[in-house]
Amino acid sequence: MTVINTPRPPATRSRIGRVLTYVLVIALALAIAVPVAWVLLASLKEKSEFFGSPWTLPEGLRLQNYVDAFTDAHMGQYFATSVFVTVLGLVLVLAVSVPAAYVIARYEFKGKGFVELLLLGGLFVNVNYIVVPIFLMLVDWDKALVDVFPGGFFLDNPSVLSLVYAATSIPFTIYLLTAYFRSIPVAYEEAASIDGASRFRIMTRIMLPMARPAITTVILFNFLAYWNDFIISLTLLPGEGKTVQVGLLNLFTAQKAAADYGRLYAGMVIVIVPVLIVYAFIQKRLIEGMASGGVKG
Amino acid sequence: MLACLLPALVLFAVFMVYPTVNVFRMSLYTWSGFSPDMKFVGLDNFRHLVDDDQFVRAFQNTVTLLVVVTVVTMGMGLFLAAIMTRQKLRSRNFLRFVLYIPNVLSVVVIAAVFSAIYDQNNGLLNSMLRLVSLDSWQQVWLGDQKVVLYSVGIAMVWQSLGYYMVLYMSSMSSIPEELYEASGLDGASASRQFFSLTMPLIWQNLRTSLTFFIMSAVNLSFVLVRAMTGGGPDSSSEVLLSYMYKQAYTNSSYGYGMAIGVVIFAFSFLVSLLMSRATKREPLQF
């Protein structure tokens, strides 16, 4: 659209192109910013303010919606569950993936090619396809253990949800970490081993600190995936305990039926704000990581 | 040292390999899930799919979304990336920040945002159309069978545009500036430069992004439909994965549901393969 074919003096031509470009880009930025800002504003509105034009500003800083969302709609409790599940998932995935990636990057062993190929294949298996068999498998395990845990153990268990998150992000995590470990020169490890450091010590004291950028990238992507997921947690936590996303979905259905939106928007803000804060801090690294890893969840 | 590999491999095998194998295995059975009688029926489930109008509809919807969303997002993403890298916009970093925001939001949030936008009476979209006196353009965005699929498509574009823009920007910014200067001296216009210089040089990146488009269209359409429309009205926005989910949980036909899963697997794999074949070119160096 900056294309203007009729010959013009270069200065005018580029000026018109520039103005058009600005208008277009700003329009797009507004199309993204306005709805998000609108949610923030609407979360401060009273019930009566939702009728009539949606463009009116809230009458004051009214925080009652947040109190209602946190307590009546249990969003506070769901928030705590989400934080727990996300943090535990991150700890688990790093605990198993970092050593595995290090071994794959640095050691030769039988069947290594097969293991790598299998993990690479795992990159293409989205959890959405396999959530049904995972659910059925957990149901089976619960049945098998019914004498020990009559109430069931594997379903409705936030720790198991974390484990599933961690397990399903192993291919991506190992893929990214292995590539990074391989880019670190072997000379550092050789030097350390001449100084008498054990293999374990080399991994924790030398490789880990050097791989910090890759580990940060992995944490960011997995944080977003775990925090934003709702299909897996909807399936694996069918009971009272929920994550914020499923809680928000319920709130969404309930408030729409009752035409009472304040609480819903407050709930949305509760879900959005942590992500936006993290994003604002790490956007540079996130975008760099995306460019190098190029993996979409 | 191999012990270090073990926990990761065990978790991966139990929660990814085994369930994936199970999708294929279960597609050959009829099974209501919780009852013990599981009957082997071979390829019967697949045969039924052909006669299942709802499945055909879900398939068509998935393909429509895949094509429309890919074309629109890719076109806009490329265009935006080109202006963001070629023209030194003053607020470039800020714009990139804003345009990437939807990509970090959850699908439930996006669904809720868009139902506020699409709301028939108090929605942002209809009230804006009233404001500019285009009343006749107002729609029941999520309630009209002809419109609903495209309403979902717009939400998908909204969500992923920033991602692809950043992806293309990163490969465009590595093209040396001299090439543009030289072709500019030869009198090439901005559009000519875009098609004859930028596009061929980022071709590999474009090809990779096509695979992302296929995977994300199948998955994102499912989660959005699940949260926004539930497949309605009258299954006019049903997509393959949401239909699979419905058969498995609502209808308790796990075998049949998994047959749909197998079809989605095969379909996305085949389309990726075909796309990759069709777009193959000699890589260009700069």
* A291 touches B: beta carbon within 8 Å: yes
Q: Where are the beta strands (DSSP E) in B67-194?
A: none
* B95 touches A: beta carbon within 8 Å: yes
Q: Do B4 and A279 touch (CB under 8 A)?
A: no
Local confidence band at A13 (pLDDT 50, 70, 90 cut-offs)? low
Local confidence band at A5 (pLDDT 50, 70, 90 cut-offs)? low
The pLDDT tens digits of the residues spanning B122-170 come to 788 888 888 887 777 777 888 788 889 999 999 999 999 999 999 999 8
Q: Residue A295 has what pLDDT?
A: 43
* A258 touches B: beta carbon within 8 Å: no
Task: Decide if pLDDT at A293 tops 70.
Answer: no
The pLDDT tens digits of the residues spanning A164-178 come to 999 999 999 999 999
Q: Residue A297 has what pLDDT?
A: 36
Q: Do A228 and B219 touch (CB under 8 A)?
A: no
Q: Residue A93 has what pLDDT?
A: 97
The CA distance from A282 to A285, in Å, is 5
Task: Decide if pLDDT at A160 tops 90.
Answer: yes
Q: Residue A1 has what pLDDT?
A: 46
Comparison of pLDDT for B90 and A274, the residue scoring more: A274
Q: Residue B15 has what pLDDT?
A: 96
The pLDDT tens digits of the residues spanning A22-50 come to 888 889 999 999 999 888 888 888 777 77
Average confidence score pLDDT of chain B:
88
Average confidence score pLDDT of chain A:
85
The pLDDT tens digits of the residues spanning B173-186 come to 888 888 988 988 88
B26 Cα to chain A: minimum distance (Å): 9
Q: Residue B271 has what pLDDT?
A: 92
Count other C-beta atoms under 10 Å from residue A251's C-beta: 27
**CB–CB of B279/B207 below 8 Å?**
yes
Task: Decide if pLDDT at A6 tops 60.
Answer: no
Comparison of pLDDT for B31 and A289, the residue scoring more: B31
Q: With 0-12 CB in 10 A as exposed, 13-18 as middle and 19+ as buried, what is B217?
A: buried
pTM: 0.88
A283 Cα to chain B: minimum distance (Å): 7
Q: Do A97 and B8 touch (CB under 8 A)?
A: yes
Q: Residue B35 has what pLDDT?
A: 67
Percent of chain B with pLDDT over 90: 45
Q: A112 Cβ partners below 8 Å, 6+ apart?
A: A104
Which residue out of B38, B76, B108 would a mutagenesis test of the A interface target, given it has the greatest number of A Cβ atoms within 10 Å? B108
Mean pLDDT confidence for A173-184: 92
The pLDDT tens digits of the residues spanning B229-269 come to 887 787 888 999 999 999 988 888 899 999 999 999 999 99
Task: Decide if pLDDT at A10 tops 70.
Answer: no
Q: Residue B140 has what pLDDT?
A: 80
The pLDDT tens digits of the residues spanning A53-110 come to 777 777 777 788 898 888 888 999 999 999 999 999 999 999 999 999 999 998 898 8
User: Comparing A291-295, B50-54, B85-89, B256-260, which segment has the lowest mean pLDDT?
Assistant: A291-295
Local confidence band at B54 (pLDDT 50, 70, 90 cut-offs)? very high
Burial A64-80 (b: 16+ CB within 10 A, else e): ebbebbbeebbbebbbe
Question: If you ran DSSP here, which 8-state letter would residue A203 be given?
Answer: I
Task: Decide if pLDDT at B24 tops 90.
Answer: yes
Q: Among A83, A106, A102, A62, which Cα is nearest to A204's?
A: A102
Q: Do B219 and A122 touch (CB under 8 A)?
A: no
Q: Residue B32 has what pLDDT?
A: 76
Count other C-beta atoms under 10 Å from residue A228's C-beta: 23
* B109 touches A: beta carbon within 8 Å: yes
Q: Which residue in B has a C-alpha nearest to residue A54's C-alpha?
A: B122
For residue B69, the chain A residues in CB contact (below 8 A) are none
CA pseudo-torsion sign B210, B212, B218, B222:
negative
Q: Residue B88 has what pLDDT?
A: 73
Task: Decide if pLDDT at A9 tops 50.
Answer: no
